[in-house]
Amino acid sequence: MAEREFDAIVVGAGFSGLYMLHKLRGLGFTAKVIEAADDVGGTWYWNRYPGARCDIESYDYSYSFDEDLQQEWAWSERYAPQPEILRYLQHVAERFDLRRDIQFETRVERAVWNDDAKRWTIETDRGDSFSARFCIMGTGCLSSFNRPDIPGLDDFAGPVYLTGQWPHEGVDFTGQRVAVIGTGSSSVQSTPIIAKQAERLTIFQRTPNYVVPAHNYAIPPEEEQAIKANYAQLRATARESAVGSGRILPRTPVLATKLDEETFRADMERRYAVGGLIGFTGAYADITVDPAAAERMEAFIAEKIREGVDDPETAEKLIPRSHHIMTKRLCVDIGYYENFNRDNVELVDIKTTPIERIEAHGLRTSERFYEADALVLATGFDAMTGSLERIEIRGKGNQTLAEKWAAGPITFLGLMSAGFPNLFLVTGPGSPSVLTNMVSSIEQHVDYIADVMVMMRDRGAQEFEPLPACELAWVEHNNSVAATTTLPDANSWYMGANIPGKPRVMLPYFGGFPAYRNICDEIASECYSGFSID
């Protein structure tokens, strides 16, 4: 085993790992990135299913750390397609010469804290052993695919495609009968394209989602110029926005429940015309706290579904009833509802008629058999904790992170966990992360981690970790903020409810991006109160 020494080992080469490496190099630290894939990109490397694209506007969903980069890169569409985001991250890797410090096709399997040396030993599936003062997990919130445990899945005779591990060469469904399980964002994006190719498409829906129009378009040169001329303002707005977005439609200053019917409808129509997450997220202060407010918005969306879907029975099946709007991530529509007006598309409600078994040539529900030549699993991710817990991370006293988190993740600020010194989690559970424009949150965490490392270098410190009492207070704060909302009632991946046996706790921090950032900054200004420094 070759042991190599670095100031930091960074795991993952997506948005997080790439910026972390660039930042550390600029500060004179030695760092190496370990990545399981054979190239950079993270989410945008793995999720190559047809129709994959961002749902935060492209000029917002991009790095802000380099002025020349943001001025020179031109995005083609309001919501950039996956190949373009991947090209962007490849460009970033080339522009800042990052690849020479990234080891690809290597999975980190173990990270063990050595309390004498005050260093981490990081071991990989290729037999490497690295030693580093800091171990930084840029492993992603949505990077461990959820392969559902459906009886007979391995008996299926045709190909099984996972949206989160899509074949690089693409898939041609022409002439095939395709079954898709799942109706989250990945399904909403991919099924309109699959439907145009396939002979027959059957979508198996357990829970319908709230889906709003994307109104995607090619960005005209005038709009690009206007954005770039005011990029600093866009980024400043993002920093002050609860969801870290610089292009969000401002909140309506009156509660949804207080608007008269005519004004409410006009406001919703205005938001619908803008579309996307930016049209609806945070639209009214009472949406996530007062079910009556949510129900008002839901009734409006239900009307739109009934207007857009020709078959009344299918329309009714597509209307969500078991959770409130915004308690799961909104899906953004480019042709989703239209899909159901095609003769070759069928929706099967598996809440009413569950899948009993997958057989060699199709899926059997409690009602009937559906023939299929190909199966697509759009079944989501073991979110926020999955990729961390798949690594054997051993801290002080030989305890693993997975053992410590058996009843749910325990972190301070979603950034660190006590007993695991010098181990940083970029956008870890307990940080705003997936409730924001992730690039804003990633940049904030990377900058914060780098500041801590500089502070430690300046002081000659070797060990940095949260105080147990402070992290417990943070977990309580996170839960109590969530408890003021309707989010804990939904069976969402935010709550870990999509993975059988996973503890049901609120994973991201709901307090908003600016409030969170202010807390982090205040802690830093008080010589990192809440952390111990040795």
Q: Which residues bind ligand FAD (CB under 6 A)?
A: 11-17, 34-37, 42-43, 45, 47, 52, 54-56, 61, 107-108, 138-143, 186, 387, 391, 426-427, 437-438, 442
**Which residue number has the CB closest to ligand N01?**
184
Among 106, 183, 281, 400, binds ligand N01 (CB under 6 A): 183
Segment holding 20, helix H or strand E: helix 15-26
Residue closer to ligand N01 by CB (options 64, 183) is: 183
According to DSSP H, which parts of 345-483 are helical? 386-389, 401-404, 438-459, 468-483
Stretch 322-381 residues interacting with ligand N01 (CB under 6 A): 329, 332, 378-381
* 3-state class percentages of the chain: helix first, strand second, coil last, to nearest 5: 35, 20, 45
Residue closer to ligand FAD by CB (options 17, 81) is: 17
Smallest distance from the beta carbon of 264 to ligand FAD, in angstroms?
A: 28
Residue closer to ligand FAD by CB (options 16, 379) is: 16
Among 189, 191, 427, 441, binds ligand N01 (CB under 6 A): 189
Dihedral over Cα of 152, 154, 159, 165: its sign: positive
Comparing CA positions, the residue from 129, 44, 118, 119 lying closest to residue 88 is 44
Smallest distance from the beta carbon of 275 to ligand FAD, in angstroms?
A: 14
Stretch 132-171 residues interacting with ligand N01 (CB under 6 A): 142, 148, 150, 163
Among 493, 510, 513, 531, binds ligand N01 (CB under 6 A): 493
Site size for ligand N01 (CB under 6 A): 25
498 makes contact, choosing from ligand FAD, ligand N01, none, with CB < 5 to 8 Å by partner type, with ligand N01
**Residue 120 phi, psi dihedral angles, 5° rounding:** -95, 140
- For residues 78 and 334, the answer to whether their CB atoms sit within 8 Å is no
* Angle at which helices 261-274 and 291-308 cross, to 10°: 60
Residue closer to ligand N01 by CB (options 62, 186) is: 186
362-365/369-371 β-pairing = antiparallel
Dihedral angle at the C-alpha atoms of 322, 327, 328, 334, nearest 10 degrees? 90
Q: Give buried/exposed letters for 461-484 (b at 16+ CB in 10 A, else e).
A: bebbbbeeebbeebbeebeebbee
Contacts of 205 (CB under 8 A, 6+ apart): 183, 317, 318, 347, 348, 349, 350, 351
Q: Is 478 helix (H, G, I), strand (E, B) or coil?
A: helix
End-to-end CA distance of the chain: 30
Binding mask 19-58 for ligand N01 (x = CB under 6 A): -----------------------------------xx---
Residue closer to ligand FAD by CB (options 140, 395) is: 140
Residue closer to ligand FAD by CB (options 252, 441) is: 441
379 makes contact, choosing from ligand N01, ligand FAD, none, with CB < 5 to 8 Å by partner type, with ligand N01
Q: Can you give the binding site for ligand N01, defined by CB under 6 A?
A: 54-55, 142, 148, 150, 163, 181-187, 189, 206-207, 329, 332, 378-381, 434, 493, 498
